[in-house]
Amino acid sequence: MSEPSSAPQTPPSRQLSPNPFIVAAFLLVIGLIGFGGYRASEYQGMQTLRTDAGHRLDLFAAAVDGIVNRYAHIPATIQLNEEVLNVMHKPRSAASVLAANRFLQRLNGHIGSIAIFVVDERGIVLASSNWDHPDDSFIGEDLSFRSYYLDGLAGRVGRHFAIGITRSEPGYFVSHPIRDGERVVGVAVIKISLGQLDKAWELLGAPALIADGNGVVILSSVPEWRYTALNPLPLDTLVDIKMSRLYNDGLIGDFPVRIDEAMGPEGQIVHMNLRQHPPRSRQDIAGSYLVHGRPLTELGWRLQIFSDLRPVRAQAFGHAALASVATGFVLLLLLVVAQRRRIIGQKLEAKTLLEQANAQLESKVARRTKALTDTNARLRKEVTERLQAEQTLRAAQDELVQAAKLAVLGQLAAGITHELAQPLGAMRTLSGNAIEFMKRGNLPTVEQNLGIIARLADQMGRIITPLKTFARKSPAIPAPADLAHAVGAALFLLDQRLAKADITVINRCEAGRDIAWCDQNRLEQVLINLIRNAADAMADAAHRELLIEAGPGEAGNIELSIADSGSGLPENGQLFEPFFTTKPAGEGLGLGLAISRDIVREFGGDLRAENRPAGGARFILQLPAAPKEKP
């Protein structure tokens, strides 16, 4: 019966050691998310920064516009003034000059500009609001090199930033032609202070600058940036600047970084470095900035604001870190969930395998149990049959033993009859004599005869008793049996026969010395068999001697040897086979030895035969010794 292999296969335990590829992928994803988060946050921050800066720029532009344009119309109105027109016509008249000066002084004092003055066609200052300032009065100054003069003379409104020549005070100049009819006779100019703007920088809350039409920084919240060119100036511009002394002959430096004047609304990112800006207590402008600006169209200027990118980047970094941590957490969570699912899967798999193995085992056990039950039933049946057979055999054997016994008895009958005949004859004679003596009244002789008769009857009884015992059909029950006793009984029964055959019996057994564990009756039967066979074998021998010895044998057994001086064992004879005999028909059945060996083996002993070196055969009976403690 072939059984399917049913060994349960447990899945290999998977270690929870981190897979380097998964770790690398995790780190990559975390890095990408962090980077993406950084960029998104930075973008968002910059957008906010732009919007915010845009608002501030608008606010500042409005402030600049307010400060500058509030007085821009003043020069146009000056030509309407009588005193001014007078001085244009009579420049040498001290009275008209004074009147004009006083008018301009009043007007200037009223509106709060730096100065208001008029120049003639040649560019010489005729009257000025600061006429009475002994050190820095404009009166008599030749301003023909100034652009605002040239513009005014050309009939246009002139306006630009410039640094004052007398006090080097920066200001915004607005000029307007003074006409007498169609002819331009002079130019009226107002110089507006830009000092108020310094306070307005606060509105921006970040470094900022204003560059004029030449790209030169004229105003800035960072003093170092003032009078620097955002980009290298072309030669003709430099010549113009020189000619018009816009920046009062001061050197125009380079702005720390290049600013793209054509930048779009998204602005430009620049990196400032500390070396270009000595440390100052007010603000530290090293770092990255988002620059963007807007034109102040009417003034021809450009306003630039520098928004610090550090807070944006710090925030972006914070967001990136947060995104990375959150991603890491989510990934870990996913990993844990995946791991858990895998473990549950493994457990289910193992459970299924276990159930399968269990089912296989159960069916196997059921099959085996059935096979065992069948075998058991068969064995029981066989045992019963065997027991029955054994019983039958034992019964047959007992019958056989009994039959053999009776056969022996039959053969002994002649001898026994002879034994009994003699005392019987004597008894008859003695009883006849007793009757005669009684008639004669010789009672003492009668008594003597009757005594002899009684003794003879006892003798006859002693002859018959062993026969009765031998003939008894008794079951074989092992018990301590004295070998000398059994040998004695056998010899007694065969006594006649042995004597008749003239056989010398040497019996070396001693009573009470060799006690075997067997059935006395059966043992006697075996001995009678062996002694009879010996006697038969010595029938034709010249010297007839039967030697019986007993003593301890191998392995705690007791051995009894019956040796004769007869013909010896037949060659190739299967002595112990049933029905083997060399005796003529009617004398031997060939069962004696077979039954004898059977009887002896039943008690755990054995029977073997051998030829004696000096001639004759020896039968050795081996029997277990009776246990010492048994009675």
Q: Which residues would be at the binding site for ligand ADP (CB under 6 A)? A: 529, 533-534, 537, 564, 566-570, 575, 580-583, 588-593, 617
The encoded tokens of residue 436 equal 């005669």
- At closest approach, how far in Å is the CB of 508 from ligand ADP? 18
In the bound state with ligand ADP, the residue whose beta carbon lies nearer, of 97 and 490, is: 490
- At closest approach, how far in Å is the CB of 390 from ligand ADP? 23
Distance CA 307, CA 287 (A): 10
Distance CA 50, CA 263 (A): 13
- At closest approach, how far in Å is the CB of 380 from ligand ADP? 38
559 touches 553 (CB < 8 A): yes
Residue at token pair 């921050």: 45
Strands 287-296 and 268-272: antiparallel
Strands 208-211 and 217-220: antiparallel
Distance CA 382, CA 386 (A): 6
In the bound state with ligand ADP, the residue whose beta carbon lies nearer, of 296 and 562, is: 562
Report the candidate in 506, 518, 508 with the shortest Cα–Cα distance to residue 480.
Answer: 518
Contacts from 417-423 at CB under 8 Å and sequence distance 24+? 418/496, 419/463, 419/496, 420/460, 420/463, 420/464, 423/456, 423/457, 423/459, 423/460
- At closest approach, how far in Å is the CB of 413 from ligand ADP? 17
The upper half-sphere exposure of residue 199, i.e. CA atoms within 13 Å in the direction of its Cβ, equals: 6
In the bound state with ligand ADP, the residue whose beta carbon lies nearer, of 170 and 592, is: 592
Residue at token pair 């404009």: 138
In the bound state with ligand ADP, the residue whose beta carbon lies nearer, of 591 and 621, is: 591
- At closest approach, how far in Å is the CB of 609 from ligand ADP? 7
- At closest approach, how far in Å is the CB of 502 from ligand ADP? 17
In the bound state with ligand ADP, the residue whose beta carbon lies nearer, of 212 and 549, is: 549
- At closest approach, how far in Å is the CB of 366 from ligand ADP? 56
In the bound state with ligand ADP, the residue whose beta carbon lies nearer, of 61 and 569, is: 569
285 touches 222 (CB < 8 A): yes
565 touches 571 (CB < 8 A): no
Report the candidate in 309, 228, 220 with the shortest Cα–Cα distance to residue 269.
Answer: 309
3-state SS class at 542: coil
Alpha-carbon distances of 345 from 70, 335, 338, 349, rounded to whole Å: 83, 15, 10, 6
Q: For the chain, report the end-to-end CA distance as a whole number of angstroms.
A: 55
In the bound state with ligand ADP, the residue whose beta carbon lies nearer, of 52 and 606, is: 606
- Max intra-chain CA distance, the chain: 241
Q: Which residues pair with 118 in a beta bridge?
A: 127, 188
DSSP state of 216: B
Distance CA 522, CA 597 (A): 11
- At closest approach, how far in Å is the CB of 565 from ligand ADP? 10
- At closest approach, how far in Å is the CB of 402 from ligand ADP? 16
Exposed e or buried b per residue across 153-168, where buried means at least 16 C-beta atoms within 10 angstroms of its C-beta: beeeebbbbbbbbeee
Instruction: Return phi, psi of residue 578, to 5°.
Output: -60, 145
DSSP letters along 433-493, please? HHHHHHHTT-HHHHHHHHHHHHHHHHHHHHHHHHHHHHH-------EEEEHHHHHHHHHHH
Q: Which amino acid is at 297?
A: T
Cα-only R_g, the chain: 79
- At closest approach, how far in Å is the CB of 591 from ligand ADP? 6
In the bound state with ligand ADP, the residue whose beta carbon lies nearer, of 87 and 569, is: 569
DSSP letters along 36-103, please? HHHHHHHHHHHHHHHHHHHHHHHHHHHHHHHHHHTSTTHHHHHTT-HHHHHHHH-TT-HHHHHHHHHH
- At closest approach, how far in Å is the CB of 514 from ligand ADP? 22
In the bound state with ligand ADP, the residue whose beta carbon lies nearer, of 200 and 538, is: 538
Helix (H) or strand (E) holding 592: helix 592-602
- At closest approach, how far in Å is the CB of 584 from ligand ADP? 10
- At closest approach, how far in Å is the CB of 607 from ligand ADP? 11
Q: Which amino acid is at 411?
A: Q
Strands 504-507 and 545-552: parallel
In the bound state with ligand ADP, the residue whose beta carbon lies nearer, of 508 and 583, is: 583
- At closest approach, how far in Å is the CB of 548 from ligand ADP? 13
In the bound state with ligand ADP, the residue whose beta carbon lies nearer, of 520 and 561, is: 561
- At closest approach, how far in Å is the CB of 544 from ligand ADP? 12
